[in-house]
């Protein structure tokens, strides 16, 4: 087994941490655990948000909940705590939940709660990329991990 762990969105490992209290277990990601140590993380929970919680979307530099609350600070705290965890454990790669306002990488929901997707990164994904972490989503080719 490769020694460097991979950070993974907790919801992709079947943990019930999503905004709606659900999970999005992904068999391909679970199977990664056979060859790499996986570190579960939910940046939104690390930032102090409860589960369940109102859905949120990123709109420019802000993150707004569907009920109108500005949750930007919690998302930023969660991103910083996730980066701290990555540094402590020596992770160089992460597999995060696609389109999430925290974890989305490459595309995110547009901030109107209409289901429309636009180019962009979630708050955590952006911070990790800025700090040299390779970020993928469950929709990417995971065979390349560790190369």
Each residue's pLDDT, cut to its tens digit, for the chain (147 residues) gives: 558 999 999 999 999 999 999 999 999 999 999 889 999 999 999 999 999 999 999 999 999 999 999 999 999 999 999 999 999 999 999 999 999 999 999 999 999 999 999 999 999 999 999 999 999 999 999 887 865
Residue 12 in domain = yes
Question: Does a structural domain hold residue 108?
Answer: no
- Residue 112 resides in a domain: no
CATH number of the domain to which 132 belongs: 3.40.50
Q: Is residue 110 part of a domain?
A: no
CB 30 within 8 A of CB 108: no
Domain containing 126 equals 2-54+75-97+122-144
**Predicted pLDDT at 16:** 98
Alpha carbon distance 8, 125 (integer Å): 11
Residue 133 forms part of a structural domain = yes
Q: Is 83 contained in some domain?
A: yes
Give the pLDDT score at 81: 98
The whole-number pLDDT of residue 145 equals 81
For the chain, what is the domain count?
Answer: 1
Beta bridge partners of 59: 62
Helices (H) and strands (E) in the chain, counts: 4, 8
Q: Is 138 left (phi over 0), alpha (psi -120 to 50) or beta?
A: alpha
State phi, psi for 43 to the nearest 5 degrees.
-55, -35
Whether residue 50 lies inside any domain: the answer is yes
Q: Say if 27 falls within a structural domain.
A: yes
Note the pLDDT of residue 117. Answer: 97
């Amino acid at each position: 087994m490769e020694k460097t762990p991979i950070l993974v969105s907790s919801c992709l490992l079947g943990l019930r941490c999503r905004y709606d209290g659900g999970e999005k277990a992904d068999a391909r990601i679970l199977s990664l655990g056979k060859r790499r140590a996986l570190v579960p993380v939910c940046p939104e929970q690390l930032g102090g948000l409860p589960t369940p919680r109102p859905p949120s979307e990123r709109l420019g530099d802000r993150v707004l909940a569907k009920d109108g609350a500005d949750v930007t600070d919690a998302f930023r705290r969660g991103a910083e705590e996730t980066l701290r965890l990555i540094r402590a454990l020596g992770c160089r790669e992460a597999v995060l939940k696609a389109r999430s306002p925290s974890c989305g990488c490459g595309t995110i929901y547009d901030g109107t709660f209409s289901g429309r997707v636009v180019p962009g990164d979630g708050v955590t994904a952006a911070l990790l990329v800025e700090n040299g972490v390779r970020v993928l989503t469950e929709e990417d080719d995971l065979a390349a991990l560790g190369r």
